[in-house]
């Protein structure tokens, strides 16, 4: 059975907005290997609308000289959105209606994992619905003080730590499962 795995860049204070402004000083080979492994162990990229729009505006213009560009551009992509009518990025399908139900069915089909990059609203929704199987946080050693946070509501979400690693740049890679996950 497939797993849905979210991999997100966050600051110590939980901000994940605009990682292009704060993430790169902490990027190194260790992080590159973890991010690449996530994409290569998955055969579908799942995105929320906002992240889709950012990715679709930038990734198609990147060539093979950019790590993961070919993989991201060619792999099937699903976009969860209640506001988009069409998607134009190659190999992309729009999910509408009951996204959790559609993804639950998809998880039962043969294939590799489904990876989520960014997309905090989608990640929170899938956690609430019990559809997200794993949450990987790459916690960067910086306090941003403002910006959109991964968890910006007051809901409790019990998680169980299943793995952790610290990179030489101070980034901590934490892997969680929802605590009620079978």
Quick: pLDDT tens for 80-91. 998 999 999 999
- How many beta carbons lie within 10 A of that of residue 131, not counting itself? 19
Collapsing DSSP states into helix, strand and coil, what is residue 170?
Answer: coil
Quote the pLDDT of residue 153: 74
- Asked if pLDDT for residue 154 goes beyond 80, the answer is no
Structure tokens at 119: 């997309």
Quick: pLDDT tens for 25-51. 999 999 999 999 999 999 999 999 999
Quote the pLDDT of residue 38: 95
Distance CA 49, CA 46 (A): 10
What predicted TM-score, i.e. pTM, was given to this entire model? 0.92
DSSP β-ladder status, 172-178 and 159-166: antiparallel
Distance CA 95, CA 114 (A): 14
């Amino acid at each position: 059975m497939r797993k849905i795995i979210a991999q997100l860049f966050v600051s110590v204070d939980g901000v994940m907005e605009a990682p292009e402004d704060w993430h790169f000083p902490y990027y190194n080979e260790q992080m590159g290997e973890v991010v690449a492994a996530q994409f290569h162990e998955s055969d579908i990229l799942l995105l929320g609308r906002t992240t889709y729009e950012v990715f679709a505006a930038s990734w198609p213009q990147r060539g093979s000289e950019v790590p993961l560009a070919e993989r991201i551009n060619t792999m099937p992509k699903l976009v969860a959105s209640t506001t988009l009518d069409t998607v134009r990025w190659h190999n992309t399908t729009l999910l509408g209606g009951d996204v959790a139900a559609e993804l639950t069915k998809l998880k039962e089909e043969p294939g590799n994992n489904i990876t989520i990059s960014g997309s905090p609203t989608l990640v929170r929704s899938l956690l609430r619905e019990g559809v997200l199987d794993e949450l990987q946080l790459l916690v960067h050693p910086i306090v941003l003080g403002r910006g959109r946070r991964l968890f910006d509501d007051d809901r409790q979400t019990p998680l169980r730590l299943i793995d952790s690693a610290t990179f030489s740049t101070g980034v901590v890679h934490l892997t969680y499962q929802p605590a009620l996950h079978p």
